[in-house]
Amino acid sequence: MDTSLILAIITITLALVFYTIGVFSERHSGELSIKHVLLFGLGLVFDTTGTTIMSSIAKAKSQTSALSLHQVTGVAAIVLMAVHLLWAIYVLFRGTEQSKQTFHRFSLVVWLFWLVPYSAGVIIGMNH
């Protein structure tokens, strides 16, 4: 197995771990904290890193420039994660107590959407 592919798999898996811990620990605690924001940030950094590596691998192996549904949902997930992180920072430092306590609803939606390209990538990887 190619070293780049191993690195991409590790970083995307770390994204899953950090983002999942962030989302569910925030949900469990009932209020957004700096710890959660840091976990969201780590998830975004690792996902972006892994996606970038995977994209370079795919470009090197592909003869076509057409975007797949997996690529489109992957980019959308990264954008949504970035919006989620920025919104979390805003809510933490400027938001009301109510917004800090209900932020977890948005987190869960973003996490569920993020699982779509993650799961698709796992399935695609198993088929190759």
Half-sphere exposure of 68 (CA within 13 A, CB side): 12
* Eight-class DSSP state of 127: T
pLDDT in tens, 5-30: 899 999 999 999 999 999 999 999 99
Farthest CA pair distance, the chain: 52
pLDDT mean over 83-94: 96
- Higher local confidence (pLDDT), 12 or 2: 12
pLDDT confidence tier of residue 63, bands split at 50, 70 and 90 = low
- By CB atoms closer than 10 A (0-12, 13-18, 19+), residue 30 is exposed
Q: Output the pTM of the full model.
A: 0.89
CA–CA distance, 40 with 88 (Å, rounded to integer): 9
pLDDT in tens, 89-100: 999 999 998 998
